[in-house]
Amino acid sequence: PAGKPGPAGAVLDIADGVVVLDESFTDNPYPMYELLRARRPVTKVRMGMNPPVWLVTEYDDVRAGLADPRLAKDATKLARILRRAAGIPEDADAFDMGLHDHMLHSDGPEHTRLRKLVSKAFTGRAAALLRPRIEALAAELADAMAARLAAGEPSVDLIEDYAFPLPTTVICEILGVPDDRRAEFGGWSRTMLSTAQPYEKLVATEALEEYLDKLVAGKAADPGTDILSEILAPDEDADRLTHAEATAMASLLLVAGHETTVNLIGSGTLALLRNPEQLTRLRENPELLPGAVEEFLRLESPVTTSTMRFTDEEVTIGGTTIPAGEIVLLAIGSANRDPGRFERPDELDIERSTRGSMAFGHGVHYCLGAALGRIEGEVAFRVLLDRFPRLTLAVDPGELRWHNSILLRGLVALPVGTDG
C-alpha cells in the first residue's frame, strides 16, 4: 500500500506500479530495502530520469538471481534494451557499449574465455605478492595525514587522503599506468559512474577510451613487467585478447579497482567510529581483522545493487513474473541485511559469521579482484589503527554525504581527526 510509512520512515511512492526512489534512498537505502522486502520484494523502481528497472531484495532471490543464466549480461543485447527503454532508435549509436563490452557484460563461453585470459593475473597468490607494496603505500599515506594533523589542521579527509589513493595507485601500478596520468583517471572513472550528467559521462568515457587505446597498443608493442602486459600475452592455448577486448578489460579493471575498495575502507572506518566498543575490541585483538573486513563488507556492501542484468526470457523470481527484455538489479546490500539470513543485520558485529555474504557477488561473475580487495582492506585498517590510536569523526554524522548512485554505496567524504 502506497503512502503508509514503513520502517524508519521510508514511504513507498508508487506511480504506475513503479516505486519511485529519491535521494533519501542513496543517502540511506536500508529503510527502503526493509520496506521492499516486507511489501514488494521484487518490484519495478525508477530513480531520476533513468528508465525503470526491476529490483530484487530478498536474500534467497538475490542469491539465485546472481547465479541464474536467464538473467543475462551480453553487452550487445543489453545496449539494445537500454536504447529501447530510453526511446532511442535501435540503430542509433547511443549506448554503444564500447568500453563496457567486457567480461562483466558477457555470458557463457565468451565470458569463460575472457575471464580465463585475465584470471592468471588475479590469483590469491598474485594478490599476496602485492602485500608489501600495499603496506608501504598505506604507511606513506597515513604518515602524511598524521603529519598534517600534528601541524594543527583540524581534520583530514579519510576518503580523499587515504581510502581513494590506496587502491587506485595499486590498480594503476598493476596496469602500468604512468604516474602523471593517474589523477585524470580518477576523474574519468568518477564521472563515468555518476548518473546525473550524461554529457560529461560521454566525454569522460571517450577520453578514457582514447587513453586506454594508446596504453594497450603501447604495451602490446613493448611489453613491461606490469599485469596489463602479462594479460596481453597469449595463454597456453595460444589464445589472446584482441585489441578491443584488451581495452575494454583494462577499463573494467580500472573502474572496479577505483570505486570499490575505497568504499570498503571509508564505510568500514565510519562503522568502527560509530561503534567504539567494537573498535576497542579490534584494537585489542588484531587477529579479528580479517573477519572484521568481511563484516564491513556485509554491513555496507560497496556494490549495493549488482551491475545490470536483463531477462533473456520471461523469468519468475520470488513469485513475481518479469517479462523478457527487462533490466534487473539484484540488491546485494539488501540481501546482506536480510534478517532471514543474518541475525541483528543492521548491527556491526566483527565476530559474527558472515558466511553467505554476497559482497563480492556470487556465481560466474564473482569478483575477480576479491583477494586483492580483501588484502587492500586488511592492510588499510591495520595501518590506520596502528598510526591513529585516537581516531575521531570530525563532523556531525548527520552531515555525512553518500554518493548519489544506485549501484555503489560510498561516502563522498569522511573528515577525521585525532583527540590526542
Binding residues for ligand HEM (CB under 6 A)? 66, 103-104, 115, 171, 252-253, 256-257, 260-261, 264, 297, 302-303, 306-307, 332, 359-361, 365, 367-369, 372-373
DSSP one-letter code for 292: H
In the bound state with ligand HEM, the residue whose beta carbon lies nearer, of 279 and 375, is 375
Cα 171 from Cα 381, distance rounded (Å): 18
Residues, the chain: 420
In the bound state with ligand HEM, the residue whose beta carbon lies nearer, of 317 and 368, is 368
Amino acid at 292: A
To ligand HEM, the closest distance from the beta carbon of 56 in angstroms equals: 12
To ligand HEM, the closest distance from the beta carbon of 403 in angstroms equals: 14
To ligand HEM, the closest distance from the beta carbon of 3 in angstroms equals: 32
In the bound state with ligand HEM, the residue whose beta carbon lies nearer, of 35 and 98, is 98
In the bound state with ligand HEM, the residue whose beta carbon lies nearer, of 122 and 211, is 122
In the bound state with ligand HEM, the residue whose beta carbon lies nearer, of 256 and 394, is 256
To ligand HEM, the closest distance from the beta carbon of 200 in angstroms equals: 24
209: left (phi over 0), alpha (psi -120 to 50) or beta: alpha
To ligand HEM, the closest distance from the beta carbon of 277 in angstroms equals: 25
Report residue 204 CA to chain centroid gap.
Answer: 19
Q: How many helices (H) and strands (E) does the chain have?
A: 18, 12
- The number of beta carbons lying within 10 Å of the beta carbon of residue 146 is 14
Report residue 400 CA to chain centroid gap.
Answer: 19
In the bound state with ligand HEM, the residue whose beta carbon lies nearer, of 345 and 369, is 369
In the bound state with ligand HEM, the residue whose beta carbon lies nearer, of 75 and 385, is 75
To ligand HEM, the closest distance from the beta carbon of 312 in angstroms equals: 15
Dihedral of alpha carbons 18, 20, 26, 27, sign: negative
What does the CA dihedral 268, 271, 276, 279 come to, rounded to 10 degrees? -20
In the bound state with ligand HEM, the residue whose beta carbon lies nearer, of 142 and 256, is 256
DSSP one-letter code for 104: G
Q: How far apart are the first and last CA of the chain?
A: 52
- In the structure grid, which three cell numbers stand for residue 402, read together? 553518500
Map residue 401 onto helix, strand or coil: coil
In the bound state with ligand HEM, the residue whose beta carbon lies nearer, of 53 and 303, is 303
Q: Which residue is nearest to ligand HEM (CB)?
A: 369
Cα 358 from Cα 103, distance rounded (Å): 19
In the bound state with ligand HEM, the residue whose beta carbon lies nearer, of 148 and 382, is 382
**Residue 102: phi, psi to the nearest 5?**
-130, -175
To ligand HEM, the closest distance from the beta carbon of 301 in angstroms equals: 7
Cα 28 from Cα 130, distance rounded (Å): 34
- In the structure grid, which three cell numbers stand for residue 136, read together? 608501504
Selection from 407, 366, 409, 358 nearest residue 61 by Cα: 358
Selection from 289, 285, 257, 246 nearest residue 380 by Cα: 289
Strands 327-330 and 53-56 come out as parallel
